[in-house]
Structure 1
Amino acid sequence: MTFIKTIFTFLITLLLATTTFGQEFKQKTKILLIGTIHFETPHLDVHELKTDDFLAPKRQKELEELTEILKRTNADKVMIEKPFNQQRQVDSLYNAYSQNRYKLTVSEREQIGFRLAKKLNLKHINCVDKFYGMKHDSLVSVTAKEKNQLYLFSELGTTAKSLMQEIDGIVKQNSITEILRYINKNELLQKNLSLYLKYYAKIGAGENYIGAEAVSDWYLRNLAIYSNVITQINSKDKYVILIFGQGHIPILKHLLQNNDDFEVVDVNSALK
């Protein structure tokens, strides 16, 4: 009986040791989050950059250089800011582009995403966006007026304008690779997120918390994007590249850094 008990204890110990060993050496998927400006200026954001011509020969050369650098990652997947429910349409366009039957539009989703995926010989490009409207925005304005908090909108506008002017200067004077290095610095990512956390969240606090609810709309969208990202990555994926509007990156970065299945890659190290 003692012998059987000893064997049982040994097996349990071995099982625990094996499990611990597996956990310690489990391969994490590297994920590179590239925050971009919107090349086509879609006019969906209140505060947005007025971009230059990314179809011009100079910019096209820069896009080739950028995607050649990113090709070195040998990424298993490229994910873009297109709605999850548009995957079939995007598959059709990407397949046509892969066969040289489709000319890329000005969108960074195609100019960077499609171009890079083709260089990586990927059969598929992943759509991971989920659009939630900022449904509380109109109530935010009403509450701000009622609570004499319109000054917050003024301060937010001044800060956003300054941020856009800073990025505009970088865009005008630098290559696309250099632009991406700059706008993905932690300082710039924090400035973007602070527009929500520093100003919006104060509106209605103590009463209806409509400002906090408006911020939650933005977080909800990014949580949905995050859900789409992690469900489209499997254990065989060693490296994934996500290309998204820069404003999304601070939240997505925080979420992925706190998921131990992933290792978030620094943009500047990837774009050397």
Structure 2
Amino acid sequence: MYKKILKIGWALLWLGNGANFQLGAIDWPTQTGELVRDFGSNDGGTASVGETFVGTGPVHAAGGGELVFKQDSSTLANRLPSPLGAWVAVDQGDGIVGIYGRMENPRDFQTPIQMEKGTILGTMGKTGWTGATGFYFSLYDRGERQWINPALVLTPNPNERPPMVRGLYLVTPEGTKINAAQTKQIRQGAYRLLVDFGESRGAAKTYALIPLRTQWYINGVAQGLLLLETLETKNGQRMVTENQKKAVDQVYQDDQTIDMGTGLFNRGKATLEISIRDKAGNERNTTYQLTVE
């Protein structure tokens, strides 16, 4: 079993199978922005490796460290378009880099420079690949070449809603999609399970986004497991943990669903169950009773 200890601020983060971690190692990089896309969310058929906020106001350093890179709006015109727009990178130690992008303009820092947690880096903007004013935040482990889910170390949000599933679909080998909530009877055989995670939002920082852990079962027997602690890059491909490491384009579908793998339904009564848990420990289990012919 692979484990690695990463020191981020005051906390120790254990990554790997059966990971343990301490929340609160870093602070929210905004006090006014609303989180609209979470780490691991389906972003047009690929997995988001960071968190997207919308709103206005300052962007703060989530953790202390050394500012090692800065690109502002004045330099963008002389370069190829960047998805991050105006952005900065803060080395938080042990190979962990905090990246803050799509800002209006970073402050006029000279790099490299040491800074404390909470330092204002710039203001939310509309640079890079975005259609709304806000900013983008991600954590990258240079040593392991993987993106870390900020939820593992962000201060918990007490207003967070329990996770939810907006749609659950069984797909036949021929490609027929069956809505599990609208059927009571299916034919015997193997089915892929597609999940559409609801991403409803209310007031600022009151949201339900993609769960940290998703597991599904047939008659109590575990099938696919999706764990969104990290996303790694291997041979130029982004990889996600679904039972084992898989290429993101095999799991994330263009219709915003996520492929949870294949399960076999035998003739008789069957209970389809999906269990989801978010970073705050909120859980939700949903079951469907099916007759298999």
Q: What is the TM-score normalised by the length of structure 1? A: 0.22
Q: What is the TM-score normalised by the length of structure 2? A: 0.21
> Which structure has the highest helix share of the two?
1
Larger Rg: 1
> Which structure has the highest strand share of the two?
2
